[in-house]
């Protein structure tokens, strides 16, 4: 499979001020595969080390931070002659050996000529008692589930992907229905690499759902392993509530939906833990559509999404016919599946920051607002072809200097203050 993040790794390799690399991302998004494929393509040698339950690795990094000694030990362990610039050292499942994370500071300061990258669970990399995270001494790259474009490449739809990347809307409009069908498939399968691989190789929808369910069960096991015991039950409550909160008309997260009388103080640690794990995305409200958006953030009002649209469907047990044949996926769920997909696409393309907007009197609400160069960009999300959008119409009428984007199932079309972009071309 082709991952667009490979190019970002190549750019890291060629940086003059390159530092050790930390790959961030939820479990199962493909961090290990990315690093090993990158090593295969771009380096003569790969020194791959699995840290999980590896006492030898723990001994190597727990003695001291003498880089020369560590390199000698890694050469002996991997049977690879690790040399500067032509060898990629990969430390996988690094959260099990926190001293290895701390050692990156010394690789940066004392041996910058060596190329070293680490990957592991976000649940374990950042926080370890008695261990210092090497702030300012590492480069970081966020890895997300496969985007719709990467899904197309995995299916062999290279030309379809190329048209989207080149923004050749005159041609994509001619084959609009084909793209809609491909998007339906992506809604069901999602972007978890193992699931995409199963779908591409077998096309078996039951196998796809089994893979998704296994990933979800793995996440819940991680809760028990990594979460603070006093927060475990609250984390599970938040996690299980996200689909129902996302599929209601007002998608703002409501604490009272978790249990009667629940307050922010009861669940804010649990929510932040899920966000830090990479399993949940938090989109805050901005009170004003003006730059910089961050100064208008309302921390008390937010929406929560999970890491992948396919997993979201697995949680609520969508049937294949609902997604692949009927229009249910577009017309039901109150647009929640579509918003999840839009957010996922923006995340995979590095869009930050992302907010939603709602006025205090609730008369005006926009699904997303982002910063695009020197302007704020309001985004309206429509799950189908019915695009009546009173909020967006009112906003543009009152602020003629604004331009907006509407994502819908309509083909590409430029209008006075607004561009309609089909959902498959996000």
How do the domains of the chain map onto residue ranges?
5-142, 230-425
The answer for residues whose C-beta is within 8 angstroms of residue 271's C-beta and 6 or more apart is 238, 253, 280, 282, 304
Cβ neighbour number for residue 401 with a 10 Å cutoff: 7
My answer on whether omega of the bond before 292 falls inside 30° of 0, hence cis, is yes
Q: In Å, what is the CA distance from 98 to each residue of 55, 119, 228, 410?
A: 13, 12, 18, 50
Q: Residue 111: pLDDT band by 50, 70, 90 thresholds?
A: very high
Regarding pTM above 0.75, the answer is: yes
* Confidence check: pLDDT of 334 > 90: no
Q: Residue 26: pLDDT band by 50, 70, 90 thresholds?
A: very high
Mean pLDDT to the nearest integer, 24-53:
96
* Confidence check: pLDDT of 336 > 60: yes
Mean pLDDT to the nearest integer, 41-58:
97
The answer for residues whose C-beta is within 8 angstroms of residue 45's C-beta and 6 or more apart is 80, 81, 82, 83, 86, 87, 88
State the Cα torsion 259-261-265-269 to the nearest 10°.
0
CA–CA distance, 162 with 152 (Å, rounded to integer): 10
pLDDT for the residue 313: 93
* Confidence check: pLDDT of 128 > 70: no
Whose CA is closest to 409, among 86, 187, 191?
A: 187
Q: Residue 331: pLDDT band by 50, 70, 90 thresholds?
A: low
Burial profile 104-125: b = 16 or more Cβ within 10 angstroms, e = fewer: bbbbbeeeeebbbbbbbbbbbb
Whose CA is closest to 184, among 69, 294, 338, 290?
A: 338
Task: Count how many Cα atoms sit within 13 Å of the Cα of residue 187 in the half-sphere of its side chain.
Answer: 32
CA–CA distance, 301 with 284 (Å, rounded to integer): 6
Strand partners, 366: 357
Tokens of 392: 């967006």
* Confidence check: pLDDT of 112 > 90: yes
CB 238 within 8 A of CB 267: yes
Mean pLDDT to the nearest integer, 128-153:
88
* Confidence check: pLDDT of 149 > 80: yes
3-state secondary structure 264-321: HHHHHHHHHHHHHCCCEEEEEEECCCCCCHHHHEEEEEEEEEECCHHHHHHHCCCCHH
Q: Residue 125: pLDDT band by 50, 70, 90 thresholds?
A: low
Angle at 425 between CA 242 and CA 393, to 5 degrees: 75
Task: Tell which wins on pLDDT, 224 or 212.
Answer: 212
Helix (H/G/I), strand (E/B), else coil: 162: helix
Task: Tell which wins on pLDDT, 89 or 393.
Answer: 89
Mean pLDDT to the nearest integer, 201-218:
97
CB 21 within 8 A of CB 88: no
How many residues does this entry show for the chain? 426
Element (H, E) at 90: strand 87-92
Task: Tell which wins on pLDDT, 90 or 250.
Answer: 90
Report the percentage of the chain scoring pLDDT > 90: 81
Arithmetic mean of pLDDT over the chain: 92
Mean pLDDT to the nearest integer, 59-78:
97
CB 246 within 8 A of CB 207: no
Whose CA is closest to 94, among 130, 133, 45?
A: 133
CB 38 within 8 A of CB 88: yes
CB 228 within 8 A of CB 257: no
Q: Which CATH superfamily is domain 5-142 in?
A: P-loop containing nucleotide triphosphate hydrolases (3.40.50.300)
Over residues 269-286, the pLDDT tens digits come to 999 999 999 999 999 999
Q: Residue 330: pLDDT band by 50, 70, 90 thresholds?
A: low
* Confidence check: pLDDT of 124 > 60: no
14 phi/psi in degrees, rounded to 5: -90, 0
CA–CA distance, 25 with 123 (Å, rounded to integer): 10
Element (H, E) at 407: strand 404-408
């Amino acid at each position: 499979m082709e991952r667009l993040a490979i190019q970002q790794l190549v750019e890291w390799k060629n940086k003059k001020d390159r530092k050790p690399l930390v790959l961030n991302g939820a479990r199962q998004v493909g961090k290990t595969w990315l690093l090993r494929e990158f090593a295969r393509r771009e380096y003569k040698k790969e020194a791959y080390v699995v840290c999980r339950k590896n006492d030898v690795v723990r001994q190597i990094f727990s003695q001291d931070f003498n880089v020369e000694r560590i390199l000698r030990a890694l050469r002996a362990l991997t049977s690879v002659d690790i040399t500067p610039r032509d060898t990629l050292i990969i430390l996988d499942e690094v959260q099990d050996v926190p001293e290895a994370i701390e050692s990156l500071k010394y690789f940066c300061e004392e041996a910058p000529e060596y190329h070293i990258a680490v990957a592991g669970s976000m649940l374990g990399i950042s926080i370890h008692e008695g261990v210092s995270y090497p702030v300012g001494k590492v480069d970081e790259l966020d890895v997300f589930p496969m985007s719709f474009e990467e899904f197309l490449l995995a299916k062999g739809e290279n030309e379809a992907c190329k048209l989207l990347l080149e923004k050749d809307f005159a041609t994509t409009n001619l084959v609009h229905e084909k793209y809609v069908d491909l998007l339906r498939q992506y809604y069901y399968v999602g972007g978890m690499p193992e699931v995409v691989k199963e779908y591409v190789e077998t096309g078996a929808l039951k196998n796809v759902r089994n893979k998704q369910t296994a990933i979800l069960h793995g996440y819940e096991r991680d809760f028990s392993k990594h979460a603070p015991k006093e927060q475990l039950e609250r984390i599970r409550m938040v996690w299980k509530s996200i689909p129902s909160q996302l599929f209601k008309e007002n998608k703002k997260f409501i604490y009272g939906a978790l249990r009667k009388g629940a307050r922010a103080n009861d669940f804010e640690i649990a929510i932040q833990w899920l966000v830090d794990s990479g399993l949940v995305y938090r989109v805050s409200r901005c009170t004003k559509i003006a730059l910089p958006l961050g100064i208008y953030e309302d921390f008390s009002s937010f929406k929560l999404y999970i890491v992948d649209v396919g997993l979201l469907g697995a949680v609520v047990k969508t049937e294949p016919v609902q997604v692949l044949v009927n229009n249910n996926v577009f017309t039901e769920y109150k647009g929640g599946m579509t918003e999840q997909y839009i957010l996922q696409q923006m995340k995979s393309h590095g869009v930050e920051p992302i907010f939603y907007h709602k006025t205090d009197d609730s008369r005006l609400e926009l699904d997303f607002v982002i910063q695009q160069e020197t302007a704020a960009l309001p985004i309206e999300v429509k799950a189908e072809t019915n695009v009546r959008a009173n909020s967006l119409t009112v906003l543009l009428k009152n602020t003629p200097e604004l331009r907006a984007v509407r994502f819908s199932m309509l083909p590409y079309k430029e209008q006075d203050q607004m561009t309609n972009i089909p959902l498959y071309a996000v």
